[in-house]
Structure 1
Amino acid sequence: MSTRIPAGSDTPPLGVARPPVASPGRDDAPRRRRGGGRRWAWLFMLGWAAQVAVRLWLGSGQTVPVATPDESGYLFAARVLTGGPDADMSYGTVYRGGYPLLLTPAFWISDDPVSVYRFALVVNALISAAMLPLAFQLLRLFQVRKRWAYVFAHVTVALPCVLFYSEFALTDAILPVILVGWLLLVHRWLTAPAPAGRRAAVRVHLAGVGASLLVAYAYACHSRGAVLLVAHGALVVVAVSCRWRSWRAGALALLAAAAGTAAGMLLNASLLPHMYPAGDNNLSGNVVQRLIEARGWAWMLSLATGQVWYQSVATGGVAAVGLVAVAYAVVRPGGTLACSPGRTRALALTVVGIVAAVALATSAALPVEYRVGNYVYGRYLATITPVLFAVGVAVLLRGAWRVPAAGAAAAALTVGAACVVQWYAGDLLTQYTYTGYDFPETSFLTWDWTSFRLWHATLTGLVLLAVAVAAVRLRRRGPLLLAAVLTVVAVGMSVTATERIARPLVRDETAHTDIRESVDLRAQRSIAVDWNVPWTIRLSHYYWAWWSDGSVFDARWTPPPQNVDLVVLAWPKDAPAERSWPAGAPPGWHVADSRRTIEGDWVAWTRS
């Protein structure tokens, strides 16, 4: 039997004695601990600063919302929260106020739209880089050696689900950090020994309250936060029922969650009349309809499977290894995670439940948009991907003889998910609209930014998984080789996605909609945009006219309003710009700008 120490393990195999270690004197031990603590503090400070710098560098070319309508919705919500003008986004998705709250200080510095947008990216960078210490703590929780936990924490922070989305004004930039922070706090609350004194009891209560406030804030940020809120509540109830925590600790945690949720609901309700005066797109109606129809369940299950497939391939199979390991821990917990088997099972079941609930709920709510991203999409599960990735890394580093079995199970999961996607979507994967922004990882894996290739991406992901399994079998350099491969792939995905997806979108959106040189937008206090102008262009006009109340009308049935300062109309193909106003422009109005673009044609009218 081999006695080789598994890569990343702190403990020698059974039957192998530890080498003798010289015991430092009592006077030297505290000094050594203080010196080691200072070194680690510097490592984390410098590492965090480096991650912030990388994010600011990648986002340096972003000046206008391109992930529409999401980015626009959050920016307009921040504007409304600071007392700024309204932006009519009726019949669209409701964007919640939790994330925009972080952007409100931007209005203390500047009221220019580009400056506010850049401030949002700075906020993203500061928070997103905080994944470094959190990922380190998560890997240490899985008993990965300290130095390798630090190395792979950097790899986790470099994943596109953490790095790439920090380049945009999206909740996706902060939700992964919130989820990992919640998981660490709820683990501490759940597994702490029975408090023996006042201080210990306070620490337990603080962990419970902190976890509750984090999930409440996640709920205020995005509907995915509702899944976290339910999972948190269920975990608290189970902990009290199993007597892992006292009823007082459970009641305090639930009270904090309820108070935070109530505050979030009030915040979100305050935005509705300013941004959705005619109502939203009723995504809840989609959920209900699909739950009562057999074809609705087929849609949900297949799209949810496509989301799982995407996270597996996007991480070179490592997240699939993590998902398999978490699912195995539900059946055979084994008392890992420095806690009892029952608590390990509860935590593992919570993670699996979050994956399933997010994938199914988002698939149920998603309207049919005739795009490839309906069937394979990465953003929704990107929130929990860092957790699955960290688990997968721990299995690879510490799994020893289990690594090939875990790799085989992850490969089977990936191929099976790809088969489901192929069976359900079929030719629609090539016939529907391909949006490059939906596929930052798979575009890199297939080296194709114009079309989606299911099996090419699957094969590349499986090759990376095979490389990972083979790398950790090496005696000394395995973990380093694994970290190098995963880092190169992850950074390559974000860099190429920035250069080939994000930057071109910014250039096109600016060229198609920026009218700052032709109109004094600061003097325009209100803007009305024709409903027949494509919604991406409509929201961009709201963005550039940052100081104006934004409203919408349908020029087919309603005359353009004349009680506004700027009107944007759809431009018929066979007419000059001056004839775009139905029945002729009233006196005092003239064409200020006009564009024919691949997204749609429009004419901007202002008063003389």
Structure 2
Amino acid sequence: MSTETAPVTVAPTTTATADPRADAAARRRRRWLLLFLGGWLAQVAVRLWFDLGQVMPVATPDETGYLFAARVMTGGPDADMSYGTVYRGGYALLLTPAFWISDDPVTVYRIALVVNALISAAMLPLAYVLLRRLQVTRRRSYLFAHVTALLPGTVFYAGFALTDAVLPVIVIGWLLLLHSWLTARDGGARATLCGAGAAFLAAYAYACHTRGVILLLVHVALVAAALAFRWRPWRALPVPGAVLAATAGAGTLLNRWLLPHLYPGGDNDLSGNLARRLTTQDGWGWMLSLGTGQLWYQAVATGGLAAVGLVAVAAAAVRRDTGGRLRALALGVLAIVAGIAFATSGALPDEYRIGNYVYGRYLACITPVLFAVGAAVLLRAPRRALLRASGAAAACTLLAAAVVQWYAGDRLRRYTFTPYDFPETSFLTWDWHAFRLWPATVAGLTLLGLALVATRLPRRGAVLLASLLAAVDLAMVATATERIAQPLVRDFSGYTELTGVKNLRSHTDLAVDWNVPWTIRLSHYYWAWWSDAEVFDARYYRPPARADLVVLNWPRDTAATSTWRGGAPAGWKIVDSRRTPQGDWVAWSRLQAP
């Protein structure tokens, strides 16, 4: 008997395996996400490390203006800053959480610097996106995004309660979003979101600082061009337009509301200065020469790369083969550079300081964009084009230096040198006591030459270039912190702290003599944060009746007890006094509460 065995068919087991290419792509995305998260945290840490010694506002009145605005917005007392520059409330809104968390002045200030660091470090991913759109490879974009985020104008000023901590991030974010809106292929949700984001940032910059007015005007002009040339349909306008109008309107209302709280006697009429300069020949000479000095500073402070970037942007604006949308954006960047440089110069009063004629802070908000463009030119341009761009940048830098020398002349030596105005050029000339125009120019162009040599190296040239630029940036910030920021903190603490006043918190009403130097007067407002400080002129008026702490000017060759005109009333005594390079003052207090 035979037994037949039926064949057994084994069905193939189907295992759900993911596509290897999809897995690899997911791993790459996770790796890049971790790189950006780690990089952002590293940038935050760098900023906080340099900020360790910052405990009080020293860039007076700018820092105190923003801190007082935030204090008022959280229900705190007013501060009389009459006849000074108006500091807008947009940036101060970011500082309000500090006043909700603490009422200790030092703690509030440190929290403000943490807020600065978190926002300022966002320059890393934004610079990366800009470099990628300039067709730089991913790895090089990441590398040079770090270098861009380490620029002294981005890092050093993040260590102060200033709009300069956030404006660079706002400007580059606006540019990227507007580029996305202009170049979107359809009018979908992504394009609408980008348009609304760009509109919000332009209007928010307007609410933060007068430099934001330039950004807002350029934004409106570019949107109008997009509609006129039919780059975007009319249906793409309502949402971004509504966001622009709402944000700008809210910012205007906020700033108008702040005026009587901080400037009850009026401001210093910077718009009047600008109008006078625009209507006189001497005014035009002042404005154009000082604006040229600002351009010179950015070129030298970045080792010539910002100048290369500016030349490249100008070339893109005039070349025939440049697309209309890209040409419009290039013209917009040029308008921002020129508008900020010349408008701020026109509004400035003559303060008899060298910083009137060469200054870096105002254009620091657009410098990262120019630096990134310059870096892209060095990394991608053919040899001949690179030499042309670098030669044009060097020539423009030398010409700008010549204009500064011609117009300012010996005022660069005679006028007041303020180290705070020159963190980069002081490092380049290794001199924190005087401004040296031509040595700084030579040092900046030398760095440009070294950068050109590094780019021509066959291997690791980009890494060497990034290392060189990052080392210079960090050295500039480190020396500026050690030789500028920290001495300012020590001096201001010693000059202004009301340390001799026992039970300072129990004094509810502070009155300060108008003749006390304004840097000290505003610092006293800061230390006595709970008081609705009053100002009076002790030459003509007695202190306000309700005051229980009075700070009076202390003339030279005068006894401290003689500072109270006509003699102090019964119950008052001197509780603190200082003679300082900034000015002299005496603090009086009631012995008993009224």
TM range (shorter): over 0.9
Pair 1:69–1:333, CA change in 2 (3 A): farther
**Post-superposition CA distance 1:505-561 (Å, at most 9, x none):** 000000111113533221122211111111111111111111111221111122222
Rounded Cα–Cα distance in structure 2 between residues aligned with 1:62 and 1:149: 32
Rounded Cα–Cα distance in structure 2 between residues aligned with 1:333 and 1:598: 58
Corresponding residue for residue 367 of structure 2? 385
Contact 1:329 1:345 (8 Å CA) reproduced: yes
- Structure 1 residues without counterparts, runs of 5 or longer: 1-24, 196-200, 336-340
Structure of larger gyration radius? 2
Residue 245 (structure 1) aligned with residue 227 (structure 2): no
* Aligned residue among 311, 328, 331 for 2:315: 328
Identity %: 65
Contact 1:521 1:547 (8 Å CA) reproduced: no
Alignment of 1:88-167 (within 5 A): 88-167=80-159
**Post-superposition CA distance 1:47-77 (Å, at most 9, x none):** 0111111111100100111111000000010
Give the TM-score, by structure 1 length. Answer: 0.93
Given residue 564 of structure 2, which amino acid in structure 1 is its aligned partner? W
Contact 1:378 1:438 (8 Å CA) reproduced: yes
Rounded Cα–Cα distance in structure 2 between residues aligned with 1:55 and 1:516: 29
Alignment of 1:71-470 (within 5 A): 71-195=63-187, 201-332=188-319, 334-335=321-322, 341-401=323-383, 402-470=385-453
Give the TM-score, by structure 2 length. Answer: 0.95
SS in structure 2 of the partner of residue 430 of structure 1: helix
Rounded Cα–Cα distance in structure 1 between residues aligned with 2:305 and 2:344: 23
Rounded Cα–Cα distance in structure 2 between residues aligned with 1:311 and 1:214: 24
My pick for the range that moved more, 448-457 or 101-110, is 101-110
Corresponding residue for residue 584 of structure 2? 601
Alignment of 1:517-532 (within 5 A): 517-532=500-515
Corresponding residue for residue 10 of structure 1? none
Residue 558 (structure 1) aligned with residue 541 (structure 2): yes
- Structure 2 residues without counterparts, runs of 5 or longer: 1-16
SS in structure 2 of the partner of residue 583 of structure 1: coil
Residue 500 (structure 1) aligned with residue 496 (structure 2): no
**Post-superposition CA distance 1:176-212 (Å, at most 9, x none):** 00011110000000001134xxxxx111111101110
Residue 34 (structure 1) aligned with residue 26 (structure 2): yes
Given residue 116 of structure 1, which amino acid in structure 2 is its aligned partner? V
Rounded Cα–Cα distance in structure 2 between residues aligned with 1:148 and 1:578: 67
Rounded Cα–Cα distance in structure 2 between residues aligned with 1:109 and 1:329: 48
SS in structure 2 of the partner of residue 529 of structure 1: strand
Corresponding residue for residue 59 of structure 1? 51
SS in structure 1 of the partner of residue 533 of structure 2: strand
SS in structure 1 of the partner of residue 51 of structure 2: helix
Rounded Cα–Cα distance in structure 1 between residues aligned with 2:479 and 2:378: 27
Rounded Cα–Cα distance in structure 1 between residues aligned with 2:107 and 2:18: 56
My pick for the range that moved more, 579-588 or 40-49, is 579-588
**Post-superposition CA distance 1:566-602 (Å, at most 9, x none):** 1110112112111110111111111110000011110
SS in structure 2 of the partner of residue 518 of structure 1: coil
Corresponding residue for residue 535 of structure 1? 518
Contact 2:554 2:563 (8 Å CA) reproduced: yes
Corresponding residue for residue 466 of structure 2? 483
Given residue 388 of structure 2, which amino acid in structure 1 is its aligned partner? A
Pair 1:276–1:28, CA change in 2 (3 A): same
SS in structure 1 of the partner of residue 578 of structure 2: strand
> How far off is 1:255 after superposition?
2.4
Given residue 381 of structure 1, which amino acid in structure 2 is its aligned partner? L
Contact 1:527 1:566 (8 Å CA) reproduced: yes
* Aligned residue among 551, 556, 561 for 1:578: 561
Dislocated runs of 4+, deviation >3 Å: none
Rounded Cα–Cα distance in structure 1 between residues aligned with 2:567 and 2:279: 50
Rounded Cα–Cα distance in structure 2 between residues aligned with 1:38 and 1:31: 11
**Post-superposition CA distance 1:69-115 (Å, at most 9, x none):** 00000001010000101100000001111111111111221111111
How many pairs align? 574
Corresponding residue for residue 3 of structure 1? none
Contact 1:521 1:544 (8 Å CA) reproduced: no
SS in structure 2 of the partner of residue 590 of structure 1: strand
Contact 2:500 2:576 (8 Å CA) reproduced: no
Rounded Cα–Cα distance in structure 2 between residues aligned with 1:239 and 1:475: 43
Rounded Cα–Cα distance in structure 1 between residues aligned with 2:342 and 2:241: 26
Contact 2:500 2:575 (8 Å CA) reproduced: no
